[in-house]
Amino acid sequence: MIVHPAFAGGKECRALTSQLDLTPTILALTGREGAAVERARQGLRGRDFSPLLRNPEAAGPQAVRPATLFSFDMLSYSDPKWAAMTIDTRAFRTKPPAQQQEVLAAHPPDFRNRTAIRSAFDARHRFSRYFSPVQFNTPKTMEELLAKNDLEVYDLQADPEEMTNLALDPKRNGDLILALNQVTNERIADEVGTDDGSSLPIRDGKWAFPPLDERQERSSRGGPSVRTLP
C-alpha cells in the first residue's frame, strides 16, 4: 500500500512487483534529482514502478516484470523430528552457544527432505519446485525437474483455491510446466544470480559453523554476532 500526496488514492494496480522493487521505487518518490537517486540505487536489482502510480489501473500484469519470484530456505523447517529434539525445546535454547553447537553438530537434521522452495507467479499460474537444501539444481528438462524436485502448478484464473495441481499430469501439461520452469530460472538468474546453496551453512551435506571463538571475537568488537541457531 502506498500513500503519497502526489497520487490519488483508492486505486489498484495489476502489475507484478517484487520486494526488490520497493527501495528503487521509494528512492524515486523522494523527489531528489536523478543523479542522486541513481547513485543511491546503484547495484540494486529491483525496478522503479513509481511511473505506474499516475495511472495504476492502466498497467498490465507484466508492466514491471514478467513474473514474481519467491525463494525460501529455512533450515529450521528441514526436519520436524530434529526440530522437536533441538531448537523447539527450552532445554536446547537455554544451553550456552558452545553446547548448542555441539548438539547441532552431533545431531544434524535430515537435509535430504525437500523443504527449499523456488516459486514463480506470472499473473495466472503459480509454479513451485521443492528440493533438498543439499540438492540445489537448475533443471531445464522434465527429467531433471522430476528427478530432484516435487512440483506444483496451479491455474489461479480457473482454480483460485489451488485445488488441482496440474504438475501431477506431466504428460498432459508438460509444455506448461517447462515454460513456467524456464520463467523461474530466468527470474533466479536476474534477481538472485548464482543459486547453488553456497549461502547456506551446509558443506558436504553437514552443518558448517564458523569457529565459535571467531564469532565471540566479532561480537566483542561490536561487530554483528553470528547465531548458532539455524
Q: DSSP assignment, residue 167?
A: G
Which residues touch 102 (CB under 8 Å, ≥6 apart)?
A: none
**Most distant CA pair in the chain: distance in Å?**
60
Over residues 73-88, the mean pLDDT reads 88
Which residues touch 16 (CB under 8 Å, ≥6 apart)?
A: 61, 62, 64, 65, 66, 67, 68, 121, 122, 123
Can you give the pTM of this predicted structure? 0.83
Task: Please give the Cα distance from 105 to 108 (Å, whole number).
Answer: 6
Whose cell is 507484466? That residue is: 62
- The predicted structure's pLDDT at residue 165: 98
Closest Cα to residue 100, out of 119, 117, 87?
87
Does 156 or 227 have the greater pLDDT score? 156
- Amino acid 109 reads P
Task: Please give the Cα distance from 197 to 43 (Å, whole number).
Answer: 22
Give the whole-number percent of the chain exceeding pLDDT 70: 92
Q: What is the pLDDT of residues 109-118, one digit of tens each?
A: 899 999 999 9
Examine the pLDDT at 227 and tell me if it is beyond 50: no
Q: What is the pLDDT of residues 36-48, one digit of tens each?
A: 999 999 999 899 9
**What's phi and psi for 112, nearest 5 deg?**
-75, -15
- The predicted structure's pLDDT at residue 214: 57
Examine the pLDDT at 8 and tell me if it is beyond 90: no
Q: Specify the length of the chain in residues.
A: 230
- Amino acid 98 reads A
72: β partners: 117
Q: Where are the domains of the chain?
A: 19-65, 68-230
